[in-house]
Chains A and B, each alone.
Chain A
């Protein structure tokens, strides 16, 4: 049976429903809006939330960039780009500056985002309180009544045990002085990029059927204590390819004796940076 699919796969009714959820999410920054998530032809946990967001906001003139772990070329990014090429015939770019929509898993590009750009995050577990309280019926109330004491208890326990806050990625943030939000499993290195960002940040969790957002120029503060402030990851060296000292570095094992080098996780940034220093 030959089947015809709509532009960007989803039917227009579904897109409209998702756009309504997006508008609500933008109106209440950091609040998780339940939405009637659709089954997508990619498995849950592989970016179905992000794909639904992208499919709902994308138009024929958009230029889409898809990254996974900061790279344009990892298998999941390739697969998602192929999906939109096939269903929407959309222009694909690797240039952060040229993209109108950037769908990402686990990173925010190093190149600063601009007004008018939309970041779409793939979110596995949208509920920042999930590991403190697994029941949604409870977490909804905790958010509603702003009962966030247990969130800091976790940080307290980290400091008591390890002498520092132990969360390395998916580091919880408070948005617009109200809702506590999961920034998705980006490294905490990327958290400050959300704060007062000129871009729109949309977060989609397909399996959990939640959408939330950070509108442009919104306060996004990582949770911490006055005397144990939020800290970023630091590396001793620089990128072995472009020499950058201001980017998140991946560790590459180069032989079976454990020799390692560090290179930028953001491949597009690294390429541009290397081009600048070695013309």
Chain B
């Protein structure tokens, strides 16, 4: 008599032991610390915070280590941690014009009020893998040269440091005050608490929900979708970078029991405004439109892709018709979350014996119609 193999429990346990061993690697190599990850893999930490939608560098660094550097897995760990956290209220919307910016570029005006700041970027490095001494405890880093308006030290000294001297007006404000761009209708204060992490995404999705979904969406998916727009799958004109800004923004919160706002810290943000020529309409004055991107941490690629998509997904807000995937809100927003997509694609690893058995029964009955004798040998 046949006895079905058992032992799932032991297999699962062993698998967990094995992955823990793999994660640690060679025991003779020192274990990396979350501090090392925060300091030296900071852009990775930024990405995990953004897509994990939790601004917690320490949790992100621990997640990256626990996931062996698998970013999607690390993002998942942060999400599963985040969902258990108590929420005590909504902050006051951050004022990104008062951000302490350490990088700010515009592709549409050479001179902008407040000036352009190149700041730290890989854009103008030559991508050569550099060999460097393994032991670099001595700080031999070069100091940046003096510039007119550059900030050499990106991180302000303390949480309550005053924001960067004065305000940095938005570049698109210039277009708006000159009447070349319609002002966006102000998004009403989010009193009803529209929150993608607490409510399901439904369509048509408001702009607030759309931006939430994109802000925590997968960088690769957003990038590829935005790229498809640029290649003519949804845009028939060249878009322009109105403004890209990276810096620290103060977060203010009004505790109900206090009744006045207090500063609870600062977060690193990348903000982007793209500028597109408005679709021609015979009876409308010609002008420009904008798309918006805002991401935790420093991630220019994602903020730019997000602002291209924000614009393209608005095109069909009223008609609901979409001719290209990257202009279709349901297509983009339903598929941009990598915790969802990764889980569902990989669930195919789970046993599907029963469903497959049903398929087998059907296929055999079909084959009997055609080759009665040799349906299945």
- The reply to whether A and B meet directly (CB within 8 Å) is yes
Binding site for B on A (CB under 8 A): 1, 3, 5-6, 9, 11, 34-41, 43-46, 48, 68-71, 73-79, 82, 105-107, 124, 134-137, 162-164, 166, 168-170, 185-189, 207, 209-210, 233-235, 240-241, 248-252, 254, 258, 261, 263, 265, 267
> Are B355's CB and A209's CB within 8 A?
no
Q: Which residues of B are found within 8 Å of A189, using beta-carbon distances?
A: 358
> Are A106's CB and B352's CB within 8 A?
yes
- Option from A77, A134, A162, A235 in Cβ contact (under 8 Å) with B8: A77
A168 with B355: in contact, given A39-B79, A40-B83, A78-B8 (CB under 8 Å)?
yes
> Are B350's CB and A76's CB within 8 A?
yes
> Are B347's CB and A106's CB within 8 A?
no
Q: Which residues of B are found within 8 Å of A267, using beta-carbon distances?
A: 4
Q: Which residues of A are found within 8 Å of B320, using beta-carbon distances?
A: 137
Cross-chain pairs A/B with CB under 8 angstroms, 10 sampled: A36-B199, A39-B82, A41-B80, A43-B346, A44-B342, A44-B343, A124-B344, A234-B361, A241-B2, A267-B4
> Are A45's CB and B346's CB within 8 A?
yes
User: Which B residue sits closest to A13, measured CB to CB?
Assistant: B86
> Are B359's CB and A168's CB within 8 A?
yes
Interface residues of B in 339-377 (CB under 8 A from A): 339-340, 342-347, 350-355, 357-362, 365-366, 369, 377
- Option from B2, B11, B203, B354 in Cβ contact (under 8 Å) with A70: B354
A-B contact count (CB 8 A): 155
Interface string of B87-113 (1 = CB under 8 A from A): 000000000000000000000000000
> Are A39's CB and B83's CB within 8 A?
yes
A249 to B58: give the CA distance in the assembly, Å.
50
> Are A106's CB and B354's CB within 8 A?
yes
> Are A209's CB and B347's CB within 8 A?
no
B210 to chain A, nearest CB (A): 14
Q: Which residues of B are found within 8 Å of A39, using beta-carbon distances?
A: 76, 79-80, 82-83, 197, 339
User: Which A residue sits closest to B320, measured CB to CB?
Assistant: A137
Most chain A beta-carbon contacts within 10 A, residue among B7, B82, B344: B344
A7 to chain B, nearest CB (A): 12
- Option from B6, B197, B345, B351 in Cβ contact (under 8 Å) with A69: B351
> Are B369's CB and A163's CB within 8 A?
yes
> Are B346's CB and A250's CB within 8 A?
no
B330 interfacial by beta-carbon distance below 8 Å: yes
